[in-house]
Amino acid sequence: MHFSSEQRLDGGVLEREFTLGEVPGILWTPVSVSAPVPLILLGHPGGLRKMYPRLVGRARHCAAGGFATATIELPGSGDRPRLPAAEQARADLRRAIEAGEPVSDEIIDALILPLVDQAVPEWQAALDALLALPGIGGPAGYSGGVISIGTRLAVVEPRIAAAVLFAGSFVPRAMFEEARQVTIPLHVLLQWDDEGNDRQAALDLFDAFGSPEKTLHANMGGHTGVPHFAGDAAAGFFTRHLK
């Protein structure tokens, strides 16, 4: 892990940009806490520069609660090389939506499954490097989307002790079987009127999760209309399970 820049943000948060191999990322840590703090991985749909305002807002909120946070760029997004198969699937998705046709399982699989297969090992490598840093300790949590990435991480990564999952992306049918293997505490956030989300698929995925403790937090509004109190509820969830 190579740190390329750092700056102090208002509110006592240290922001450091890094690269891990060819993967760029950002780490935020509270500067007022001396003891090792738990880590939350911030998931997103790709494009760190575009997503930065929302990511740094989430990071500030977590830092106020005594958590370090980190994120990495997704495969095929931002300045990373494009994935031809995913680009084709994205074009097929746009055509289906513009034509008013249902989005097929084949398109969803081609768009999401290769992304999950590549992104999850990269998140695990980031977790290796981040937990080795002074001032950061376990356990770790995962917060955000793509929900299939969070689902896979919850199954294969034992260092993830709890997850807040954002239901706002297409879900391949294969992920429902993986969801049944999830056992960690879950807090699932659903925007009820999300124009780009299959609400029923999100509800079915929540039903499939095998976690003994799982909560569905649904709010009215579109994809970007998450109310502030939803963040407060997620912060409380991590405080209960990571501290």
9 exposure class (CB count in 10 Å sphere: 0-12, 13-18, 19+): middle
Cα dihedral value 85, 50, 218, 140, nearest 10: 80
Query: How many Å apart are CA 25 and CA 75, to the nearest integer?
Result: 12
Nearest to 10 by CA among 68, 48, 65, 56: 56
Residues 242, 38 contacting (CB under 8 angstroms): yes
Query: How many Å apart are CA 180 and CA 229, to the nearest integer?
Result: 29
Return the SS3 of 89: helix
For the beta carbon of residue 193, count every other beta carbon within 10 angstroms. Answer: 12
Residue 27 half-sphere exposure toward CB, CA atoms < 13 A: 25
Query: How many Å apart are CA 108 and CA 53, to the nearest integer?
Result: 28
pLDDT the model gives residue 224: 64
Q: Which residue has the tokens 């290769």?
A: 114
pLDDT the model gives residue 219: 83
Q: Which residue has the tokens 């209309």?
A: 225
Query: How many Å apart are CA 210 and CA 227, to the nearest integer?
Result: 27
Strands (E) across 50-135 are located at: 68-72
- Please confirm whether the linkage preceding 139 is cis (ω < 30° from 0): yes
pLDDT the model gives residue 242: 93
Q: Which residue has the tokens 């994205």?
A: 90
* Helix, strand, coil share (%) of the chain residues, nearest 5: 40, 25, 35
pLDDT the model gives residue 78: 94
Instruction: Give the largest CA-CA distance in the chain.
Output: 56
Structural tokens at position 217: 């937090």
pLDDT the model gives residue 216: 94
| Residue pLDDT tens, the chain, 243 long | 999 999 999 989 999 999 999 999 999 999 987 789 999 999 999 999 999 999 999 999 999 999 999 999 999 999 999 999 889 999 999 999 899 898 999 999 999 999 999 999 999 999 999 999 999 988 899 999 899 999 999 999 999 999 999 998 899 999 999 999 999 999 999 888 777 778 889 999 999 999 999 999 988 766 566 666 677 788 889 999 998
Q: Parallel, antiparallel, or unpaired: how do β-strands 23-30 and 68-72 relate?
A: antiparallel
pLDDT the model gives residue 223: 58
Nearest to 64 by CA among 240, 242, 232, 186: 232
